[in-house]
Structures are given as C-alpha cells and as structure tokens.
Amino acid sequence: MNVGPGFKLTHLQAMLLFALVISIAFGFLSRRKPIERVKYIVWSLFLFFLIGVGIGWAMYPFSR
Amino acid sequence: MAGETSAPAVPQQDSRRERIAFAIGVAGWLVPGLGHALMKMWGRAVACFLTVGVLVILGAGMRGNVFNSSGNDAFDSLGYLADLGTGTFYVLARALERDGSDVSRAEGDYGTRFLATAGVLNLLAALHAYEVARGRKA
C-alpha cells in the first residue's frame, strides 16, 4: 500500500494507524487529566487491535 | 422590585451564551480544533486539528473516494455528508487528490473510510466544543 512518495502501509499497519489516531482523538475529547488520557488511549488502542484481529480471524474461514 | 428588574436578564444571558456556543460549534466544524482553541482548550484543539488532518492527508494519499454533491445513491450522499464534516479540510482533500479516487484497490477503500472518519470525528469534536460552550460539559 503506497501512500504518497515512499510511504507504504500493510493492512495491519493501516488498521493500527487508524486505531491510534482515533484513540488519541477520543482520549483528548473524553478525558481531562494527562494520565487519564494516556490510560484511555492505550486501552482504546488495545481494544481496537484485539477486536480488529478477532474480526479478521472470524472472517478467515470464509476467505477461501 | 429588584427581583422584577433582574429577572429578564437571565434568559437574555442564556440566549447570548447559546449564540456564542453555536458560533463556536460552527467554527470548530469549519476549522478542526478552532472551537476548542477559542475556549483556550489548547490540548484538545491541537489533537482535533492533527487527528482530522492526518486522517484527511492519509485518506487522500490512499486515493480514497472524496464524495461530491452529485451522488448517485444514498450511500454517496451519506459519504458526501461525512466528508463535508471535515469543514475546510474537504477542500484540502479534493486538492490533494489530483488523480481522482481509485477504490479498485484495498488502499482506496481504506482511504474512503479514513476520509469519512475524519469528517465524523470533526463533527463529534465540534459538537463537544458546542456543549462545553453551553456549560453542559467540562
């Protein structure tokens, strides 16, 4: 996946980048204290990753 | 007597606050983060600006679909509404995508989602700024 000159992303990287950006936005909007924001961002990112990979594996039997 | 004269001031103040909150919400929609910046919430302002900006630049770079007003079906119209949510960044997305969209590849599809998410995220941030300005959120 080529995004502009010299910037390549795999499916997993695209999903992780998406999850990171959304987690940061949600963390800053929903929490006030920096430590709470960090906790929220890390937890949200972890759940994005877990659910994304989970859904990926759930779809695996239908991919062939 | 003092109560009679001061009573109408409260609704007037509420009305003024409502108008300011609406203006802040619109500003936040037009320029991501501006609504929060006007209330001196710098962290949230920078986060909104950067996250929406990154999503728009990546989405356009992946040649995602930037919908326009002449959509053929409901999905195109909904996509257009979502893309419009980025405010002035919609113009940036169109300017960045000189070769047009290419959703025949996976990255184009990803790009379309990135752009739509940027719009919805910015609408959420603008709504948050509006609610804060009304005094309903901290």
Is the pLDDT score of B33 beyond 70?
A: yes
Is the pLDDT score of A8 beyond 70?
A: no
Residue type at A46 in one-letter notation: F
Contact yes or no for A29 and B128 at CB 8 A:
yes
Q: Of A35-39, B5-9, B47-51, B113-117, give the lowest mean pLDDT range.
A: B5-9
Chain B nearest-CA distance from A31, in A, is: 9
How large is the average pLDDT for residues B119-127? Answer: 96
pLDDT of A6 reads 41
Contact yes or no for B110 and A22 at CB 8 A:
no
Is the pLDDT score of B118 beyond 90?
A: yes
Contact yes or no for A29 and B114 at CB 8 A:
no
Q: How far is Cα B125 from Cα B138, in angstroms, rounded to an integer?
A: 13
pLDDT of A5 reads 43
Please say whether the beta carbons of B88 and B33 come within 8 A.
Answer: no
Chain A nearest-CA distance from B133, in A, is: 14
Give B101's pLDDT tier (boundaries 50, 70, 90): confident
